[in-house]
Chain A
Amino acid sequence: METYYESYGVVLAVLVTGIGLVAVAFGAARLVAPRRPIPTKLLTYECGIDPVGQGWSQSQVRYYIYGFLFVIFDVEAVFLFPWAGIFEGLGYQAVVEMGIFIGILAVGLLYAWRKGVLRWA
């Protein structure tokens, strides 16, 4: 029987082979596809007119607050999974405790909603 880490060998092998596959495919396409670059062809696309300003312009990241909320709830999910596997043996106490934890986060979400930050502005 293989060890714990050896069993992950196939994950690693698939990742490496997948990367190899992408590299080989792009290499093959390089050989087959034509290459006739001209300046206008290499221009950034902007509806047919010459691009105005830079592509790397400032843009408003609208989901700044969502990002915070996401991190909070995602950390909750990390706690939730180990608990979900074994809570049955721990009985009501474990469920109530997790309920309190989820409840606090849910109140946070409710607060964010009432404050109006969950509006795509």
Chain B
Amino acid sequence: MIAQSGVSFVDQWLDSYWLVLIVKTLVVIGFFLVAPLGIGYMEHKVLAHMQARLGPMYAGRFHGWAQLLADGVKFIQKEDVIPAAADRWVFSLAPGVVLVPYIALFVVIPFSDEIFILNLDVGIFFVLAVTSVSVIGTLMAGWASANKFSLIGALRAAAQLIAYELPLVLAAAAVVMQAATLSMVGIVEAQQQYWFVVTQPIGFGIFVVAALAELTRPPFDMPVADSEIIFGALTEYTGLKFAFFLLAEYGGIVALSAVASVLYLGGYQPAPFLDAIPEPLWMAAKIGGLSFVIIWLRATYPRMREDQLQRISWLTLIPLALFQVLAVGFLKVAF
């Protein structure tokens, strides 16, 4: 049966509630400040190689290693322009509303059966609830900008979330059925014999596609389609506020790659015959691998049209996901 180890490494090591709380909070914040930057760096380099771009390859001489630092310095020095017509407060709050949910999400991501922050018994439910908060920030940004392009972009973002939240949730539900637990650690422990991508390859596909759409990453980047609506909800943003939207996007890539790894790729479980490599490295490798695929897709596929995007979700992904829920149900009871 599933080994439910409820005690994290930090809890074994420290016994004061407040001390544990502070250490855990710092770890989460620290992870959030490092991991998305790593993904941002990866995006620079991977896209530069795939599209033969020279831009990101200059700063700091060797392979453009200082490009990310240069970007950071540039963003913080830029003038913060808030249009006169905009709703100042909502406009300024929006980047925070987009960013903070992704920070909270990392609380439940396990890196081994002892290295996790919190093993919530409703883990995956928490993840799904928290990820959908960000779109409110995008809507706030679009509406508060008082710009027509921003408004169109924000409405597209909301439409996209509405369409792709369901396949995501239903695919996750099928995993919960097989694992018989909602806890993230529990789901990983249930994959000791084989990863769920083996039994639910369709679910994995649905989850990754829906996650891409939820992140508004290409080929699902209609809400920021630069050839028709400038930059969607982010059109009026400059400087650090704009950078925070980008940080949220990269944070989202890390977060949803981590969730997909936990649900389908066995989380921190090592691949067969390779269990000499420590568990946290496996988790990091799976997150990195999935993030690479997400970036790769950006260089490969053209943007989809809004109506195609809705059709795919409502007429393909959702019926498939519903069918899978029932199929997993019958098979699980039968065997």
Contacts and interface: CB of A to CB of B under 8 A. Distances in A.
Given A44-B83, A84-B176, A109 B319 contact: yes
Interface residues of B, number: 79
Interface string A51-74: 100111101011100110110011
A109 B125 CA distance: 24
A13 B17 CA distance: 12
Contact of B307 (A2, A46, A94, A119): A119
A70 B240 contact: no
B80 A88 contact: no
Interface stretch (B52-60, B99-107, B198-206, B267-275): B99-107
A66 B159 contact: yes
B21 A9 contact: yes
B151 A106 contact: no
Interface residues of A, number: 71
Nearest to A118: B314
Given A14-B29, A99-B329, A33 B239 contact: yes
Contacts of A19: 96, 100
B115 interface: no
A93 to B, nearest CB: 9
A10 B240 contact: no
Contact of A61 (B100, B148, B155): B155
Q: Is the interface of A mostly helix, strand, loop or mixed?
A: helix
Given A33-B76, A42-B84, A66-B163, A59 B151 contact: yes
A21 B166 contact: no
Contacts of B166: 70, 73-74, 77
Given A32-B76, A33-B76, A73-B318, 4 more contacts: A14-B104, A73-B166, A80-B170, A91-B333
Interface of A: 2, 6-7, 9-11, 13-15, 17-19, 21-23, 25-26, 28-30, 32-37, 39, 41-47, 51, 54-57, 59, 61-63, 66-67, 69-70, 73-74, 77, 80-81, 84-88, 91-92, 94-95, 98-99, 102, 105-106, 109, 113, 118-120
